[in-house]
Amino acid sequence: MAIVAGVDRILDPTFQVDDDASSIRTALPPYTSRSGSSSAGEGSLSSYVFHLRNGKGRPWATLKVKRALGSASSVRNLPIFVEGLPIVGSFSVDLEAPDPVRSVELIITGNITTAAHCNDRLRFLDHRVCLWSDSTSCATPLQGKHKWPFSVHLPREIVAMVSTQDGLIASGLERTRVPQPRLFRLPHTLMDRDSPVGVNYYIAIKVSRRRFHADSKLATMISFYSATRPDPPSLLRQQSYKENQPILGPEIDSAGWQRCDPVKCRGRVFDDRMVEVECTLFVTKPLCFTRGTAIPLFLSIASHDRQALDLLRSPSWIKVQLRRHIRHTLDISGGSAPRKAVVTECGDALWWPTQQEPSSTWTEDAACNDRRMSSRTFAGELRLSKFLQPSCETPYLAITYTLSLQPFQRMAGFHPEDASAFNESALVEVPVSIATLPAKGPPARCYSPPSYSEARDRARKPGLWQATHAMMW
């Protein structure tokens, strides 16, 4: 299976990847950005070479691994491997004297480690492939030049024995936790300095020798990219993307929007009278989005007080955030509960008034003399950084995201009833998922210009707080 494009482009929303990962085609986005040129042409392969040297500095063992070019998104120039694509390379030796080698083994491991204590780790992956064994050849010591190519597919799912509430059974008068097998996908490499944990993968070659001879090991850190894809959007939204037209709102494309429960907010207008505003948030479906794209949003506000709506005609009071929640535990046996979630803000939505004029509807509120309720609508978009960690759910690590509508901010002429509650509790929270591959169909489009936060994301790639402890893992 040939790798025909860079990993950063494989996971870029402007590319479409077939399910078998064997072909990739491009599509033009409505907004483009400049990026540095790669060292080789698109479609070529780059090899990473690692050596073991003898006392004289001469390399006697060489490990070569290949990855699709993707320098724009590689972390510290690490080899990158994508879920579903093989890990291709070779291991060779050049032995001047006979060496009592018993076996040559390729080992790929995955670990989760806490940021505070590098020795606190859990190994969730240990994949081994024997490249050579003296049982498959003559039992004489190795000498001269030998080379073993490999092409290894990592398993898409791993089985873990996890103790959960579903595994409780009656044992006399007591109830005992019984481990149950559970399948989960390999998590994406996590090297974010804001994360309490890290997820790292390593590829190693172990040269085992006979008794009374020391073994040799050559290892390096690699990056593993998961391949997840959202379901296609509604047919009307696909048509809008295809024709480069604004997407339709929930009034027309009702099947393409998730309507949240309305929330009511109270505030004072010019410190004169108390008014009530009903706020309804809409999020496009499905609630899974590819990083590097945007989340389309729609907001409707309604009130019996037309003047209050006029004061809120500017969208500066609207604050919708994307928040990342990371929960982890290094004990999947059920002996300890997951630690408290670490929440990180990952972006704010941009808003603008729609072309729709303020409307009035009739209500059944008998307590109100004027039963007409006026409304205003706003369109919004939350741009997703291409460096966002994709969502994952494993027995030891869960990365989830929520869209949070925050309480109203104070504006000239309008003071929320409880402004101190701002940023403490969200009015609405919507769980969403982050994927790495674009949905099938026309490429998603962004309708708002890139924000300053996106520029900061480009300048601040994921950090490597784990690098100093690399070989300890």
Q: How far apart are CA 100 and CA 105, in angstroms?
A: 15
pLDDT at 134: 85
Instruction: Tell which wins on pLDDT, 77 or 58.
Output: 58
Q: Can you say whether residue 136 is alpha, beta or left, with left for phi > 0 and alpha for psi between -120 and 50 degrees?
A: alpha
Q: Which helix (H) or strand (E) holds 239?
A: helix 235-242
* Range 404-410 average pLDDT: 85
- Phi then psi for 260, rounded to 5 degrees? -85, 160
Instruction: Tell which wins on pLDDT, 159 or 381.
Output: 381
Mean pLDDT lowest for which of 72-76, 146-150, 211-215? Answer: 72-76
Q: Looking at the predicted structure, is the pLDDT value of residue 411 above 80?
A: no
pLDDT at 452: 52
Q: Which fold has domain 7-228+466-472?
A: Immunoglobulin-like (2.60.40)
* Range 271-298 average pLDDT: 93
User: 279 forms bridges with which residues in the sheet?
Assistant: 263, 301
* Range 219-238 average pLDDT: 94
Confidence of residue 8 (pLDDT cuts 50, 70, 90): very low
Q: Looking at the predicted structure, is the pLDDT value of residue 9 above 80?
A: no
Outline which parts of the chain fall under CATH 2.60.40.640: 7-228+466-472, 235-459
Instruction: Tell which wins on pLDDT, 66 or 260.
Output: 260
Confidence of residue 428 (pLDDT cuts 50, 70, 90): very high
376 alpha carbon, distance to own chain's centre: 34
Q: Which residue has the tokens 């064997």?
A: 22
Instruction: Tell which wins on pLDDT, 270 or 391.
Output: 391
pTM: 0.79
Structure tokens at 342: 């670490």
- Phi then psi for 185, rounded to 5 degrees? -80, 155
144 alpha carbon, distance to own chain's centre: 46
pLDDT at 418: 64
**pLDDT digit string (tens) for 16-54?**
333 333 333 323 333 333 333 333 333 335 788 999 998
Q: Looking at the predicted structure, is the pLDDT value of residue 451 above 80?
A: no
Q: Are 103 and 129 in contact (CB under 8 A)?
A: no
Confidence of residue 140 (pLDDT cuts 50, 70, 90): confident
Q: To the nearest whole number, what is the mean pLDDT of the chain? A: 77
Architecture of domain 235-459: Sandwich (2.60)
* Range 415-438 average pLDDT: 79
pLDDT at 443: 93
Which residue from 188, 184, 203, 7 is spatially nearest to 87, judged by alpha carbons? 203
